[in-house]
A and B are shown apart, each in its own frame.
Chain A
Amino acid sequence: MPETTDFLYPFIEGDETDSGTLLEDLARSAEGKWSQSSALREATLTQSAAQVQATAAAMAERFRAGGRLFTFGNGGSATDAEAVAHLYTQPPWGRALPARSLAEDQAVMTALGNDVGFDLVFSRQLIAHGRAHDIAMGFSTSGNSENLMRAFAEARKQAMLTVGLSGYDGGRMAAEGTPVAQCLVARSDSVHRIQESQAALNHALWAAVQEAIS
């Protein structure tokens, strides 16, 4: 028997039955978020245009000298690291360049995580692989991940070029005294929108590297 106050809490009993309104709301929400993502993408690419060119020039110099690109990140950012390594090694056009994601090998990741701790999973790999002409590129939405900061510090020690992609206000990766030489920031407080704009930055940077190296 419905209570007389049910109108205050229309769906509290879980008896909502018409999905039409929800579907309309969902579609409208998708459109709104899509526009936000497009706006942040444009703003990020515009603000970062000069830095993208400078970073690409420095990267092209490293590649020409025989350097390799090492990418890394945690969670969704680990998949970005994987996507970027894929793009550089198997490009849709242009020149294939040596790149590898440090987050991809689960044997190495779990060995290091278990034996020396998760803060060192990327830096220890750079100790093993890094050379002076190489490039270390790390992805984070907060810009604060400890294992990225450790990896950047190690890369810097080896005279590698350090490139970071960050979100929010850039975090530790963009703060004073950072070991990150070029930190590109998607300025938003939504993790999803940040990652979407970082994908655009990755593609812009890759295209600029291709242009600089050809």
Chain B
Amino acid sequence: MADTTQTVTVTDEVGGVAQDLARASLAMARRFSAGATMWCASPNWPFHAHHVAVEFVHPVIMGKRALPAVTVPPAADMVASLRASVVPGDIVLVLADADDARVVETMRRGAAWGVETVWIGAGKHRPAPGSANHVIWLHTEDPLEASELFVRIYHLLWELTHVCFEHPGLLKPEPECTSTGEVGSVCITCSDEGRPAEVVSVDGDEALVRTPEGQEHIDVSLIDPPAPGDLVLVHAGFAITAATEPGRSV
């Protein structure tokens, strides 16, 4: 049992996250500029998700843009709720531990849904490499210290995102590789070897799948029959492989 004495200590963790905050903020500003809605979720700490959403919707500084941010209800089936709601170009921001299965399942669908994923958390275990477009991770294992620093992190994300709006020339989408590396082992813009897709329905050797470009029918005769919700890689109209199980936290 940890001791209950006095105040928590705040180690100076900013060195490890300043660059990540900068990159995530620019990516979020680009997505917001293109019309994104940001979906905020924190299954174990719903108050953090509420705080992020209210921060963006109702800025504390007068005159700053109100941005569309929504809290995913903590009681919701996170994957089902987001699957029904997100559109390509949206942002999914999650505060959660690295081994939260609901979050792992959500984030690995990011590439098929075409959303930008941001995962904020703390502790010894980080999400597996490529689990999200942006991972902002603290080292502390003290839950109270982590909770305090989460507030700093999302305040800074808001502040830096608004700084980016002062640079309209940099808000145009960058022609860059956006693969998270996890679902699509090959990037869709770098090669055509495999595009991540989520199965919507299956009819024999044919399946309807969802990709960032929309829904399409593919041939699934080359792989074990998939089920709705499964992730596959698509090449030239064929599912060439089922996407592997999510990586373990490291």
A interface residue numbers (CB < 8 A to B): 11, 13-17, 19, 22-31, 33-35, 37-38, 41, 45, 75-76, 78-80, 82-83, 86-87, 92-94, 141, 191-192, 195-196, 199-200, 203-204, 206-208, 210-211, 214
Question: What is the number of residues of chain B that contact chain A, defined by CB distance less than 8 Å?
Answer: 48
Contacts of A45 in B (CB 8 A): 7
Instruction: In the complex, identify which listed stretch (B103-111, B140-148, B230-238) lies at the interface while the others stay far away.
Output: B140-148
Whether B170 lies near A22 (C-beta < 8 A) is yes
A160 to chain B, nearest CB (A): 23
Whether B10 lies near A38 (C-beta < 8 A) is yes
Assess A17 versus B170: contact at CB under 8 Å? Given A31-B18, A203-B144. yes
Contacts of A11 in B (CB 8 A): 167-169
Q: Would you mind naming 19 contact pairs between A and B with Cβ atoms under 8 Å apart?
A: A14-B169, A16-B169, A19-B26, A19-B174, A23-B23, A30-B21, A30-B156, A30-B160, A33-B156, A34-B18, A34-B156, A45-B7, A86-B47, A191-B61, A192-B158, A200-B10, A203-B8, A204-B7, A207-B144
- Asked if B191 lies at the interface with its beta carbon under 8 angstroms from chain A, I say no
A17 to B175, CA, bound (A): 12
- Asked if B206 lies at the interface with its beta carbon under 8 angstroms from chain A, I say no
B80 to chain A, nearest CB (A): 22
Assess A38 versus B12: contact at CB under 8 Å? Given A11-B169, A93-B1. yes
B158 to chain A, nearest CB (A): 8
Contacts of A17 in B (CB 8 A): 169-170
Whether A203 lies near B168 (C-beta < 8 A) is no
Contacts of A41 in B (CB 8 A): 10, 148
- Asked if B82 lies at the interface with its beta carbon under 8 angstroms from chain A, I say no
Known pairs A79-B54, A192-B158, A196-B151 / 12 extra A-B pairs, C-beta < 8 Å: A17-B169, A17-B170, A26-B26, A28-B18, A30-B156, A31-B18, A34-B152, A75-B54, A203-B7, A204-B8, A206-B144, A207-B144
Assess A86 versus B45: contact at CB under 8 Å? Given A14-B168, A19-B170, A192-B60. yes
Whether B7 lies near A200 (C-beta < 8 A) is yes
| Nearest-CB residue, chain A, relative to B161 | A26
Contacts of A37 in B (CB 8 A): 152
Whether A16 lies near B21 (C-beta < 8 A) is no
Contacts of A75 in B (CB 8 A): 54, 58
Whether B12 lies near A16 (C-beta < 8 A) is no
A84 to chain B, nearest CB (A): 9
Chain B 16-41 interface mask (CB, 8 Å, partner A; 1/0): 01110111011000000000000000
- Asked if B126 lies at the interface with its beta carbon under 8 angstroms from chain A, I say no
A28 to chain B, nearest CB (A): 8
* Cβ-closest 8 pairs across A and B: A16-B169, A26-B22, A34-B14, A82-B47, A14-B168, A79-B51, A192-B155, A191-B60
Whether B14 lies near A30 (C-beta < 8 A) is yes
Assess A83 versus B60: contact at CB under 8 Å? Given A34-B156, A76-B54. no
Contacts of A210 in B (CB 8 A): 4
B74 to chain A, nearest CB (A): 11
| Nearest-CB residue, chain B, relative to A191 | B60
- Asked if B134 lies at the interface with its beta carbon under 8 angstroms from chain A, I say no
- Asked if B159 lies at the interface with its beta carbon under 8 angstroms from chain A, I say yes
Whether B167 lies near A16 (C-beta < 8 A) is yes
Contacts of A200 in B (CB 8 A): 7-8, 10, 148
B51 to chain A, nearest CB (A): 4
B164 contacts which of A13, A22, A141 (Cβ < 8 Å)? A22
A141 to B23, CA, bound (A): 29
